[in-house]
Chains A and B, each alone.
Chain A
Amino acid sequence: MVQLFQLSFNADIFYAAVVAGVIEKLAVKEGLTEIASSRLSLGTEEVVAYLSNKFSGKKIDVQATKNALGVQIRFSLPELFSDLHVFNLPTNYRSILDDESNFNRMGLYLAARFADGFFIELKNQRIEMTLKQEYEFETIHKMETIPQYRGWFSIADSNYDTVTDACAIILNRYKSDQYASVVHKPEKLWAYMQEEIFRACSVKDEAGNVAGFLYWENLSNKSANFYGPYIFADDKKTIAQLLFKHMFETIAKSSLLAVFNGIATSSVPGNFFEKIMIDEARLMYYRQLNEEVGMVVRTPSILRQYLESFYKKLLLIRDIVVVDEYNKSDKQKCSVFGIDFDKINKEATIIPLIDGKDATANIESHINYLRNENYSEIYARFDMFYAWQAILAELFYQNGFQPYLVKPYAGQSDILIMKFYE
């Protein structure tokens, strides 16, 4: 991550066009296309205008950075401002539905639509909003002629050419639901690898042809998702063993405690993973990396039975603490939820950032918003280390969400995923 510039100013509509102009020129200079630069600039203008309208005179910090994926603009301001509700995307969206002339209230919504990525988080008692705009990455075509493999297979360096070849063969050999969209753009996959968000390993034959490929994504400092294994030669078992052995050797001394499947192919070797049926159609592969010593999780009583059954299945030791009540006067007036969008699969995950007295209404507005945006699968994610998140899980339950999955060690504690059913 390279810092490009940093500035602070007191929120004022005057700065919206100024900052946006600087961002546009900077983005072009740093290699974004003119269209992408304009989108980032428009998103920036909307955010600054919006914040100026809501928090006139308050100090806002803006920082521009770049990495192998693109340019990011981060806006930061103290969390203590009272009107936290405005940081919920549906709030902005609803303002348009309520009153189409009320454009000055839809800034965050518009910013989110302009940029490739927009997310809100709480860090060190500050609200941070980040706009991301990616470089243009070339889309490749499938490799028409698959190499004739010969000789021994061995682990090889995953350089740019290897990654590109692997992606081209995946496009030939696998159905589209067996790989992530990034496979169409190996340049982007390579950029993720440069940023160490993704790691990959490959197997080659004696002639140097890519015969197998596996990559994994660090979801947090404790958990990762793997994608694959993609195997192009006949000796699927040997190649799968080589790939996973290498992956686990690579992550053995990292901070990771658990590995799950992102997209798993049929070649996942049974000796490396525990298998958990999530529902009739979906299987989760899970590999714990530490020796089980137990942990505390917090839950509302309504979910206790589900958790007990899940932990029994995985032989996990948990002290399950039921937290049905806590002092409501401690709650903020407004809750804030983030949303993790999977635009390709039309899936969205609601992530609680702050609990508040309006949480029930906020859940409803998030559901409505995501439905109107045609998101067919809606999930919510809770870190069961936190009592307030456990309390919120109950509210989500009351509003149509059912427990779907537990990802052990995936957060500060285990992560509970709930799914919305109509």
Chain B
Amino acid sequence: MSNPFEHLIPSYVQQFESYIPSKPDDELKRIFGIDHLYRLNNNENFMGPSKKVKEFMQNVNSGLIPVYPNGDSFNLRYTLAEKFGKSPEQFLVGNGSNEVITCVLKAFCEQGDNIITTDQTYAVYEWVAEFSGIEARLTPLDENMAFEPQRILDAIDQHTKIIFICNPNNPTGTFWTKEVMASFLEKVNNRCIVVIDEAYFEYVEASNYANGMYLMEQFPNLVVFRTFSKMYALASLRIGYLVASMDVISLIRKTYVVYSVNSLAQMTAQIAISDDEELIRNTRQMVRDGKKILSDTCSRLNLYHTHGEGNFMMIKVPVPDTLLYKRLIRKGYVIRTMTGFRFPEWIRVSILPVGIMQGFCESLEEVLS
């Protein structure tokens, strides 16, 4: 039976398929009949936030609850500005990165415009564009599963408003070096906004990585996204931010949703960014160790796999990804199937501490045999 109200929504929304998130852990445990569950599907930081954040959370003042948060995360923006040597006005804080993606798209695009990204990357750029009635032009990755600059440049026309570059790319872990990024931005030549999504920036160990914060000084059309959900382990608080030049930020601010970031998230993020050295050092070590175990197992099982940046790896598997998901969840491990990322032969695995990765590798070997 068709929905009698469907005619009330725009045609581009009618065609859009809603995203069904994963069920809560307790529910998954119940339906799969398991007593433990490790999430290797969301690229969260299993180690949790820094000591100072944990201490703060244990002593949260309940007097905060009845009072509206600061409307534009004033204090946090000043802390971010100090850390990155920029003006507080250059920052906008959002309820997770998805909100700032929406914000940028609304500011620059109207129907008839297009955005460009790749076909195998974080899906939200494409989704937000589509349900806003904006064309999403998707260029293929190169043979190394990295964004291909020339294909993107070739796709630009007079209606292109934004290019989204996920650096390092989720899910492939590939990244653009300073040279590649600078050359690309020169060729774009301010014709449109270039967004660099650096959600996994803090995990990157490659010295030639293109840090958007620095490049912004040279290229004023650049917008950088960062998040507290990944390295900083504040995923449940939903907080991320963008940085841009004064000219660009003044335009994005027009569509910025004020009061959407709660006080707890603002205060926690402020503490997290001020106390991150140990957390980053320890987490990177955990990821290095976990990747080694997983990589060794894949090599032993003859499974092709990626060696990228970020706290995740992709593995090419000889069975349907959804079948592997069903088998592994019965062992207590949730993986990310990759068909939805247009990688129908792959899975993505988040890196957790060594003990868990060892258990996962044993289960992977068992279900594949």
Contact = CB atoms under 8 A, between A and B. Distances in A.
Interface of A: 122-124, 244-245, 248-249, 252-255, 270-274, 287-294, 315-317
A291 B321 CA distance: 9
A292 B41 CA distance: 14
B322 A288 contact: yes
B20 A290 contact: yes
A245 B320 CA distance: 11
Contacts of B51: none
B323 interface: yes
Contacts of B119: 249
B180 interface: no
A272 B32 contact: no
A253 B345 contact: no
B337 interface: yes
Contact of B327 (A252, A270, A315): A315
Nearest to B323: A274
Contacts of A317: 31-32
Contact of B322 (A245, A253, A290): A290
B325 A252 contact: no
Given A252-B339, A253-B340, A291 B1 contact: no
A274 B320 contact: yes
Contacts of A289: 322, 339-340
Contacts of A255: 17
Interface string B54-69: 0000000000000000
Contacts of B317: 271
Given A252-B339, A292-B329, A271 B322 contact: no
Contacts of A291: 22, 322, 325, 337
B9 to A, nearest CB: 16
B319 A271 contact: yes
B342 interface: yes
| Residue among B4, B330, B345 facing the most chain A CB atoms (10 A cut-off) | B345
Given A288-B326, A290-B337, A294-B23, 14 more contacts: A123-B2, A124-B2, A245-B345, A252-B339, A252-B342, A254-B17, A271-B319, A288-B320, A289-B340, A293-B20, A293-B22, A293-B31, A294-B31, A316-B326
28 contacts: A123-B1, A123-B2, A244-B344, A245-B345, A248-B339, A249-B119, A249-B342, A249-B344, A252-B344, A253-B340, A253-B342, A255-B17, A271-B317, A271-B318, A272-B344, A272-B345, A274-B320, A287-B322, A288-B320, A289-B339, A291-B22, A292-B322, A292-B326, A293-B20, A293-B31, A315-B323, A315-B330, A317-B31
A271 B343 CA distance: 13
B99 interface: no
B126 interface: yes
Interface of B: 1-2, 4, 17, 20, 22-23, 28, 31-32, 119, 123, 126, 317-320, 322-323, 325-327, 329-330, 337, 339-342, 344-345
Nearest to B4: A124
B363 to A, nearest CB: 14
A292 B319 CA distance: 15
Nearest to B123: A253
Contacts of A248: 339, 342, 344
B344 A288 contact: no
A272 B320 CA distance: 5
A245 B20 CA distance: 24
A136 to B, nearest CB: 32
B198 to A, nearest CB: 24
Contacts of A270: 318-319
A290 B325 CA distance: 10
Contacts of A272: 320, 344-345
A82 to B, nearest CB: 21
A253 B339 CA distance: 8
A72 B323 CA distance: 41
A255 B23 CA distance: 19
| Residue among A245, A270, A288, A316 facing the most chain B CB atoms (10 A cut-off) | A288
Contacts of B327: 315
A252 B346 CA distance: 13
A273 B329 CA distance: 19
B17 A315 contact: no
Task: Kindly list the 10 A-B residue pairs having the minimum CB-CB distance in the complex, ordered from nearest.
Answer: A248-B344, A315-B326, A288-B322, A255-B17, A249-B342, A294-B31, A252-B342, A317-B31, A271-B318, A292-B326
A253 B119 CA distance: 10
B126 to A, nearest CB: 7
A122 B319 CA distance: 40
Contacts of A253: 17, 123, 126, 340, 342
Contacts of B337: 290-291
Nearest to A295: B31
B320 A271 contact: yes
A386 to B, nearest CB: 11
A289 B32 CA distance: 19
A271 B324 CA distance: 11
Nearest to B130: A253
B123 to A, nearest CB: 7
Contacts of A252: 339-342, 344
Given A252-B342, A294-B31, A315-B326, A273 B1 contact: no
A177 B318 CA distance: 29
Contacts of A294: 23, 31
Contacts of A292: 322, 325-326, 329
B337 to A, nearest CB: 5
Contacts of B319: 270-271
A78 to B, nearest CB: 15
A122 B342 CA distance: 36
B17 to A, nearest CB: 4
Contacts of A123: 1-2
| Residue among A124, A248, A252, A316 facing the most chain B CB atoms (10 A cut-off) | A252
A245 B140 CA distance: 14
| Residue among B32, B322, B340 facing the most chain A CB atoms (10 A cut-off) | B322
Contacts of A273: 320
A243 B317 CA distance: 18
| Residue among B20, B28, B344 facing the most chain A CB atoms (10 A cut-off) | B344
A262 to B, nearest CB: 18
Contacts of B23: 293-294
Contacts of A274: 320, 323
Contacts of B1: 122-124
Contacts of B326: 288, 292, 315-316
Nearest to B3: A124
A265 to B, nearest CB: 19
Contacts of A249: 119, 342, 344
Contacts of B2: 123-124
Nearest to B330: A315
Contacts of A288: 320, 322-323, 326
Contacts of B22: 291, 293
A122 B2 CA distance: 10
B71 to A, nearest CB: 35
B345 A271 contact: yes
